[in-house]
Amino acid sequence: MKKLINLTIDDQKIAVMEGTTILEAAKKSGINIPTLCYHEDLCIAGNCRICIVEQENTRALPAACATPVTEGMVISTTSSKVRNARKYLVELLLSEHNADCTACVKNRHCELQTLAEQNHIREHTFIDLKFDKNYTIDKLSPAIIIDYSKCIRCQRCVRTCEEIQSISALSAAYKGKDMKITTFFEKPINTVVCSTCGQCVAHCPTGALTEHFYIDEVWDAINNPDKHVVVQTAPSIRVALGEEFGMPPGSIVTGKMVSALKRIGFDSVEDTDFTADLTVIEEGNELLRRLKSKIVDKDPNVKLPMITTCSPAWVKYCEHAFPDQLDHLSTCKSPMSMFGALSKTYYAEKFKIDPAKIVSVAIMPCIAKKFESNRPEMNASGYRDTDYVLTTRELAVMIKQAGIDFNKLPETNFDSLMGVASGAGMIFGNSGGVMEAALRCAYEIVVGNDIPFKDLSITPLHGSEGEIVELSLTFRDTKPEWSFLEGVTVNLAHANMLSNAYKIMNEVKDGNSKYHFIEIMSCPNGCIGGAGQPLPTSREKRAARKDAIYKGEKQIEIRKAQDNPQIVNVYDDYLGKPLEEKAHKLLHVPGFTPRKRH
Amino acid sequence: MTEGKKINRIDSIFKEYADDKFDYLKMISEMSNDKIIRDLTESGLRGRGGAGFPTGDKWKYAAAEPGDEKYVICNADEGEPGTFKDKEILMKVPHKVLTGMTACAKVTGAKKGYIYLRWEYKFMRNDLQKFTDEFNRVLKDMNIDFEIGIVTGAGAYVCGEESALFDSMEGMRGEPRNKPPFPTASGFMNKPTVINNVETFAASTMILLFGGKSYAKLGTDFSHGSKLFCVSGDTDKPGIYELELGMTLHEFVEKFGDGDTKAVSVGGVSGALVPRKKFKDTVIGWEGVPTGGAMILFNSTRSIYHILHNYLEFFEEESCGQCTPCRIGCQQLRKGIEEIKKGEMDPSYLDTLSNLSKVMNVTAKCGLGQSVMNPFTSAVTNFKEELLY
């Protein structure tokens, strides 16, 4: 039984539960103690020392984030001792930091910059320790850029990679003045185990870790009269983009987003939700085919559980960590790459445009998508499926560059060929959404009726962040051609964060997995918590975006992918049948690439 | 002038008081846990590594923690420059250390103990392992459910800090942890752990032999007992001496100095650099300047600037690098005194650096960064002209 602890912070008396830190207690009394290495998603490091406070009758200044409250504690957060010490600490960090702010992507979004401002740093007290100007910026990855000169060694990236993703592609090396954050043997990030999920970028307080930007390339394509630029937007962009323009988290801005993209000058604005619907059909059918091969044909080469592949960081992680388990992965491309392939084939044919002139741009909540678009196998049409991937943040930059007053934009609909989507496509933005969408489809194929959940919402799948969610579903009253599934119970699971994928995959590897179908998303809460989303990331924001996705989905008339008329059209007019020749060639990958652990 | 004790040589650690080296073990196995704690508490023994936490309390706290899985760890990461007593203890009287560990295990209920041996002492590992194996066999024969192993460090000074040492033992990068929780509540493998210096365990054994009260008669009211001193530097009598605590530095220098002693590093590089004019006022002990054993004497041929510069270079390299004040502060201090010496920075910058060292003292995460202030402010206060000109 925990007890209440009484303490005084800045002359305010408060009582908090035992185990609360000074930082949390202060927050409860309305005092925000400045922090830097602290992040609510991560374990406490207590290494930047910015959050020091003065405790009565104690010599040292404890770090508020790392110190639990004790009975009768008297804390000052603004004493001269604290203020002077904190100012020195910020100045020390600045003396080591490449503070070339105007040339930094994090300018005005940098937590160190904010601290410098808060502490009213107006001169450089200490000697400039910035290292040699001849340092190299690691730009070799298509996804992540590392500029070590801006690193303040708070180890947020290190903790992110270890705790959220169980990868540890980044870690601390050397000691003392030489201590730095780096990769295995200081290799470029594109050659190590990094999954490119980019969560390190989302958690970096400065400009040391950023995504690889393609804004200028996209502007050049738009401004090139010979190019026809098609853009797609992922399900989770519309519930997050508004934050970049001062709207509260969870605002749904679909119509304004489409208007902005059109004003920027994209020739066609389409919806990734459409190909999410397509993924549902292909993946649902693939699952049923695997179940049939396993149960009826007893084919030993067919692997169950089948695991989704919408999350590119998950795919790359699996290739590194479980290279002998790749047969479990669905061969379906992600919705983005399906769209890319169709934009250079179906779309090109429909509008009679030379695919060589089409530039396919994707707005994604994701940094790993930049890696995915560069994978050699993503060129089914003979052209790159997707030419450029921009994050939500990059789109916001483009909108600002174009001088568009986002809040005043009218609402516009997506263009018509691949712009209609069902609610099933939209919920791809949340962890568990792919599974829910696929079930709505597969169940109907097998049974002929809607899945027996109120309002088609499979709420048991709407799990919370970082949770492995399980569901068992038994088929009853199956159609004659699916009678082998009569009474069969399929076990399903979905998880987000690769640390959970690691747990699940170890079971799969050992042959102990009870599941038939697993959805894995790399980022906390899935795409809405993607590394390309507006910063800073927080649990509260992710929860608001999640609610917005489920709320938005209910406003869409069509709730099942198979009911989407444009999906019916694309199969009738172009692809033929799911998993069959043309669909297989364009929408599935030939295979995966086993990769090394280092 | 402070009234200090006369210098008084003691011989408890290295002298053999039993016919057989396992006699101490037999003695403690027959003692009740209460008696062990009482003797240690009455002896006033404080951690001999330098931090000076009361040993009896430490054992008592760990004993009070719930759970079966507890550890006793002997910190043999003797990294403080100017300290070389633990090496000697482990080579000459390892049985006293292992016996002390066993007494601690008996009190706390720990079933496993480790000696964390610094990388530089790996030359003695084989011998120590042989003896530990023999000791473990005896423990087994005596039906004492306790076993001692040896873990070798990897050469980092910071791993002498107890929580960094646990990280290192667990196979991680040695970085000091946040405290609380303290080791007695959550130490090695996040289990209750007693970690003591080599000398502390050896002294515990001797206290249990002589009785706490008789040990407490030595020394002063604040600093009971005797302690090993490692005398080095400008002296004709370098070596290890066991002395009663509470003498003044003046007494000490009279005995060990070469007649021209200008300053003494009491406690190695992380201790104070005491100038000649303060020798008579400085008591060696908790009421004055404490030491983990290092006593480095400097005569007038030595430049304080170079000594301090050398110390700062050491800290700059041996900081683990995780916390801001220590990682960057040490670099700034070293670079700062260089620039002042060269005339690139104004002499008033020395005050800024002094303030910085004081900020480091209150903000650094562990004792390493906190103690850089000790030599720095003593050098600035007492030898300012040597740093400026």
Which has more confidence, A341 or A135?
A341
pLDDT band at residue B273 using 50, 70 and 90 as cut-offs: very high
Is the domain spanning A4-78 CATH 3.10.20.740? The answer is: yes
User: For A208-219, how does the pLDDT look when each residue is reduced to its tens digit (9 = 90+)?
Assistant: 999 999 999 999
**CA of A47 vs chain B CAs: smallest distance (Å):** 4
Tell whether B261 is covered by a domain: no
Please tell me the total number of residues recorded for chain A in this structure.
598
Q: Is A476 helix (H, G, I), strand (E, B) or coil?
A: coil
Tell me how far apart the alpha carbons of residues B266 and B296 are, in angstroms, rounded to a whole number. 7
Tell me how far apart the alpha carbons of residues A146 and B28 are, in angstroms, rounded to a whole number. 59
CATH of the domain at B38: 3.40.50.11540
Tell me how far apart the alpha carbons of residues A43 and A385 are, in angstroms, rounded to a whole number. 39
**CA of B32 vs chain A CAs: smallest distance (Å):** 34
| Per-residue pLDDT at A133 | 66
Task: Decide: A546 and A430 in contact? Cβ < 8 Å.
Answer: yes
Tell whether B292 is covered by a domain: no
Average pLDDT over residues A140-151: 95
Task: Decide: B265 and B82 in contact? Cβ < 8 Å.
Answer: yes
Query: A178, B332: Cβ pair inside 8 Å?
Result: no
pLDDT band at residue A285 using 50, 70 and 90 as cut-offs: very high
pLDDT band at residue B50 using 50, 70 and 90 as cut-offs: confident
Of B185, B216, B247, the residue at which a domain comes to its end is: B216
Mean pLDDT (chain A, rounded): 94
CA distances from A55 to A22, B178, B199 (A): 10, 16, 34
> Is pLDDT of A233 > 60?
yes
- Let me know whether B188 and B315 are in one domain: no
Share of chain A above pLDDT 70, in %: 99
> Is pLDDT of A415 > 60?
yes
In 3D, which of A520, A235, A224 has the Cα closest to residue A387?
Answer: A224
A521: number of Cβ within 10 Å = 31
Which residue ranges make up each domain of chain A? 4-78, 104-211, 230-274+337-408, 278-335+420-529+552-587
- Let me know whether B40 and B163 are in one domain: yes
> Is pLDDT of B190 > 70?
yes
Chain A residues closer than 8 Å to B318 by CB: 175-176
Tell whether B380 is covered by a domain: yes
- Let me know whether B211 and B326 are in one domain: no
Tell me how far apart the alpha carbons of residues B72 and B102 are, in angstroms, rounded to a whole number. 8
Residues 6+ apart with CB under 8 A from A226: A357
Average pLDDT over residues B261-265: 97
Residues 6+ apart with CB under 8 A from A412: A255, A258, A259, A262, A269
Predicted model pTM: 0.94
Tell me how far apart the alpha carbons of residues A519 and A501 are, in angstroms, rounded to a whole number. 9
Crossing angle for the helix pair B125-141 and B94-108, to the nearest 10 degrees: 50
> Is pLDDT of A135 > 80?
no
Share of chain A above pLDDT 90, in %: 90
| Per-residue pLDDT at A416 | 84
pLDDT band at residue A134 using 50, 70 and 90 as cut-offs: low
For B306-326, the DSSP string reads HHHHHHHHHHHHHS-S-SHHH
Judge whether B312 is closer than 8 Å to chain A, CB to CB. Answer: no
Tell whether B194 is covered by a domain: yes
User: For A249-281, how does the pLDDT look when each residue is reduced to its tens digit (9 = 90+)?
Assistant: 999 999 999 999 999 999 999 999 999 999 999
Amino acid at position A191, single letter: T
Cα-Cα end-to-end distance for chain A:
46
Average pLDDT over residues B307-335: 97
| Per-residue pLDDT at A136 | 82
Residue ranges of chain A whose CB lies within 8 Å of a chain B CB = 44-50, 52, 59-61, 63, 66-68, 81, 84-85, 88-89, 92-93, 95-96, 125-127, 129, 152-153, 155, 171-172, 174-179
| Per-residue pLDDT at B2 | 57
CATH of the domain at B314: 1.20.1440.230
User: For B90-125, how does the pLDDT look when each residue is reduced to its tens digit (9 = 90+)?
Assistant: 999 999 999 999 999 999 999 999 999 999 999 999
- Let me know whether B199 and B323 are in one domain: no
Tell me how far apart the alpha carbons of residues A209 and B184 are, in angstroms, rounded to a whole number. 39
- Let me know whether B72 and B180 are in one domain: yes
Residues 6+ apart with CB under 8 A from B183: B162, B163, B166, B192, B193, B194, B195
Between CA A52 and CA A57, with CA A54 as vertex, the angle to 5 degrees is 140
User: For A319-339, how does the pLDDT look when each residue is reduced to its tens digit (9 = 90+)?
Assistant: 999 999 999 999 999 999 999
Of B216, B231, B259, the residue at which a domain comes to its end is: B216
Is the domain spanning A104-211 CATH 3.20.20.70? The answer is: no
Please tell me the total number of residues recorded for chain B in this structure.
389
* Edge-to-edge strand list for the sheet holding A73-76: A12-17, A4-9, A73-76, A54-55
CA dihedral A221, A223, A225, A230 (to 10 degrees): 50
Tell whether B255 is covered by a domain: no
| Per-residue pLDDT at B46 | 96
Query: A175, B336: Cβ pair inside 8 Å?
Result: no
Q: Are strands B226-233 and B193-197 parallel, antiparallel or unpaired?
A: unpaired
Q: Which residue has the tokens 């990236």?
A: A157
Chain A residues closer than 8 Å to B339 by CB: 127
| Per-residue pLDDT at B7 | 87
Residues 6+ apart with CB under 8 A from A346: A417, A418, A570, A573, A574, A575
Query: B328, A96: Cβ pair inside 8 Å?
Result: yes
pLDDT band at residue B3 using 50, 70 and 90 as cut-offs: low
> Is pLDDT of A598 > 80?
no
How far does Cα A551 stand from its chain's mean position?
20
- Let me know whether B200 and B58 are in one domain: yes
Residues 6+ apart with CB under 8 A from A244: A392, A393, A396, A399, A406, A534
| Per-residue pLDDT at A464 | 80
| Per-residue pLDDT at A546 | 95
- Let me know whether B35 and B135 are in one domain: yes
Q: Which CATH number fits domain A230-274+337-408: 3.20.20.80, 3.40.50.720, 3.40.50.1780, 3.40.50.300?
A: 3.40.50.1780
B199-219 per-residue burial string, b: 16 or more CB within 10 A, e: under 16? bbbbbbbbbbbbebeebbebb
Name the burial class of residue B327, with classes exposed (0-12), middle (13-18) and buried (19+) by CB atoms within 10 angstroms of its CB: buried
| Per-residue pLDDT at A436 | 92
CA distances from A317 to A196, A494, A521, A588, B220 (A): 9, 16, 11, 19, 63
Sign of CA dihedral B131, B132, B136, B139: positive
> Is pLDDT of B18 > 70?
yes
Q: What is the domain range of residue B85?
A: 23-216
> How many domains, in total, are found in chain B?
2
Query: What CATH class does A278-335+420-529+552-587 carry?
Result: alpha beta
Of B169, B188, B216, the residue at which a domain comes to its end is: B216
Tell whether B6 is covered by a domain: no
Q: Which residues of A are catalytic?
A: 283, 286, 310, 330, 369, 372, 377, 527
